Amino acid sequence: MDIRKPNDFELKKLLSLSPQAVFDGTLGEVKPTKEKIDQLVKPLLEKGSYYLIATENDKLMGWILIGTSKDQFTDMLYGFIYELFVIEEFRGNGISKLLMRTGIDHLKQDGYLEIRLSAFAGNQAIKLYEKLGFNIRTVTMSLQL
């Protein structure tokens, strides 16, 4: 398996699959359009965020989107993992862990002293994040009216 930045063709493919990634990551709560994904992701890519993809035999297996964010209280910059996704047929093979470790290494090399991410409560990936050393920092709560 190879983990690397995508070429233009691969980037288009993963962007077309990204609505499913958001749907899965939000446990079915959000199903964005391709236009909404473009609206969310393009500014990140323009500001230096980038994808790393996992491939084998030229087959896209999954990806991670990493970049920078800023603490709203301290203005401190930190690394941020915006998206992690493994295509369903490749799940259960440790690809998420490899993508996370590679993404963390890239953010470390980029000079960040802290990395954050967000996940919906109940997302199975939280177990992986905890195994990799992530701790709950904030909790967002919701009241349906």
Q: What is the CATH number of the domain that holds 28?
A: 3.40.630.30
> What is the residue range of 58's domain?
2-131
Asked, for residue 108, whether it belongs to a domain, the answer is yes
Asked, for residue 119, whether it belongs to a domain, the answer is yes
**Helical (H) or strand (E) element with 102:** helix 95-109
Confidence of residue 27 (pLDDT cuts 50, 70, 90): low
CB atoms within 10 A of CB 69: 20
pLDDT in tens, 99-142: 999 999 999 999 999 999 988 888 888 999 999 999 998 888 88
For range 6-28, the mean pLDDT: 82
Asked, for residue 92, whether it belongs to a domain, the answer is yes
**87, two tokens:** 């295509």
- Contact between residue 68 and residue 103 where contact means Cβ atoms under 8 Å apart: no
Distance (Å, rounded) from C-alpha 23 to C-alpha 44?
19
- Residue 119 sits at the vertex; the CA angle it makes with 115 and 9, to the nearest 5 degrees, is 80
Contacts for 99 with CB less than 8 Å, ≥ 6 apart: 3, 52, 54, 62, 63, 64, 84, 86
Distance (Å, rounded) from C-alpha 23 to C-alpha 29?
7
Asked, for residue 102, whether it belongs to a domain, the answer is yes
Asked, for residue 45, whether it belongs to a domain, the answer is yes
Q: Which residue has the higher pLDDT, 25 or 125?
A: 125
**11, two tokens:** 């980037």
Asked, for residue 139, whether it belongs to a domain, the answer is no
Name the domain count of the chain. 1
pLDDT in tens, 129-140: 999 999 998 888
Asked, for residue 27, whether it belongs to a domain, the answer is yes
**Predicted pLDDT of residue 21:** 79
Asked, for residue 143, whether it belongs to a domain, the answer is no
Tell me, what amino acid is at 122? G
